[in-house]
Amino acid sequence: MPGQGTPVPGSGIPVPGEDIPLYVTARLRAALAAATEDQLVFDLPGIEERYATLVRELPGVAVRFAMKACPVDEVLACLVRRGSGFDAASPNEIAQALAAGAAPGDIHYGNTVKSDRNIAEAYRLGVRDFATDCVEDVWALAAHAPGARVFCRLATDGDGALWGLSHKFGCSPADALRVMETARDTGLVPSGLSVHVGSQQMSPDAWRNAVERIAGVLVALRGRDIHLDHVNLGGGLPALGCLDRHGTPLDPPLDKIFAVLRDGMRHLRELSGTPLDFRLEPGRHLVADHGAMRAHVSRLSARRAATGERQHWLYLSCGKFNGLYEMDALQYPLVFPTRGGSELVPAVVAGPTCDSDDAYSHEGGLVHVPRSAASGDPVWILSCGAYATSYTTRGFNGFSPLPVSVGGPR
């Protein structure tokens, strides 16, 4: 098992050639080393181990993997075998979950945004559990998914997360009461409440606050004779291996987050007059650290910037449009396996396209890269297993989507 790489001061990235971080299993490392062409590699046993740890830390919680984070058939099938259900965001995702072997009852439509046609198609596919956050959607559900179960998503502020997911989704506690009463009055089953505290959420307080918000609505609903059977604590659990946009390891307080979730579930169970189940919709946490890219160096160059300063740029064969969509908000650790011990130079890291957004943020986001890096050198881009396949363009500038290779038993 590789050990934690020593970070370059101020960059947080492992020194090229030294041990790479703990979460990068020997299997993933071997697959990256064996790859001679660019590809996105997933380590299935690594994903299974992460899943096993999650259900051990949060006993009794039903995991519904947020498919958007990694809609790769082999990954979905492997999660079904471990007992996972799915959070789907469209009829196509539902169809893919069914094809991976999930039972319709283990899939919910977790997207609050859906057209009449989307609802009818999901219902036809057998899904009976729908997220909602407004009465207009409830009316549509009553018409196109008669008798379905609905859970209402409460808004959160997204504080503490890299991507807040606030504003667009979720309603206020007062609106939630109206939504759930409307559901009951239109023949639907008001069955639960949900939150999403924001993706790559770093603060246990975010879940603490969310639980308080849920508790208030749960009690108010009881007062209206609406008794819920579940609470969905959403996604947001962090990846462990990413760096912030300045290159500092994020180091999420996972144990504290799990402790807050356990306390929160206990508290909500005590408040509920009826038995309460819990669901979680992790996406990133299960797959990010167990997917990595084998890319290559396009060119290391030096140019004088507008400030007159000489600046190095490291152009890689993959960037924002080949799956590294999140490079504006974080850095992925880079490993240069053939340049161990090389002198390092600070550089802006960028992808291969003609789009100037295809780069790590410039200010303070320089990465220490080997001065000897040459065109064609392999580069391993770590902790990019979440959202990489779904955020890949069809071939912007002619750079084709990367082939996906899945290691481990299928």
Q: Which residues are near ligand PLP by CB under 6 A?
A: 66, 68-69, 87, 110, 165, 196, 199, 234-237, 281-285, 386
User: Among residues 110 and 252, whose Cβ is nearest to ligand PLP?
Assistant: 110
- How many Cα atoms within 13 Å fall on the side-chain side of residue 385? 31
**In the complex, minimum distance from the CB of residue 199 to ligand PLP, in angstroms, rounded to a whole number:** 3
**In the complex, minimum distance from the CB of residue 5 to ligand PLP, in angstroms, rounded to a whole number:** 25
User: Among residues 25 and 199, whose Cβ is nearest to ligand PLP?
Assistant: 199
User: Among residues 232 and 331, whose Cβ is nearest to ligand PLP?
Assistant: 232
- Report yes or no: 251 and 22 within 8 Å, Cβ to Cβ: no
Separation CA 295–CA 28 (nearest Å): 14
User: Among residues 151 and 399, whose Cβ is nearest to ligand PLP?
Assistant: 151
User: Among residues 46 and 282, whose Cβ is nearest to ligand PLP?
Assistant: 282
**In the complex, minimum distance from the CB of residue 53 to ligand PLP, in angstroms, rounded to a whole number:** 15
**In the complex, minimum distance from the CB of residue 68 to ligand PLP, in angstroms, rounded to a whole number:** 6
**In the complex, minimum distance from the CB of residue 303 to ligand PLP, in angstroms, rounded to a whole number:** 37
**In the complex, minimum distance from the CB of residue 108 to ligand PLP, in angstroms, rounded to a whole number:** 9
User: Among residues 110 and 333, whose Cβ is nearest to ligand PLP?
Assistant: 110
Q: Whose CB is nearest to ligand PLP?
A: 235
42-53 burial, b at 16+ Cβ within 10 Å, e below that, comes to bbbebbbebbee
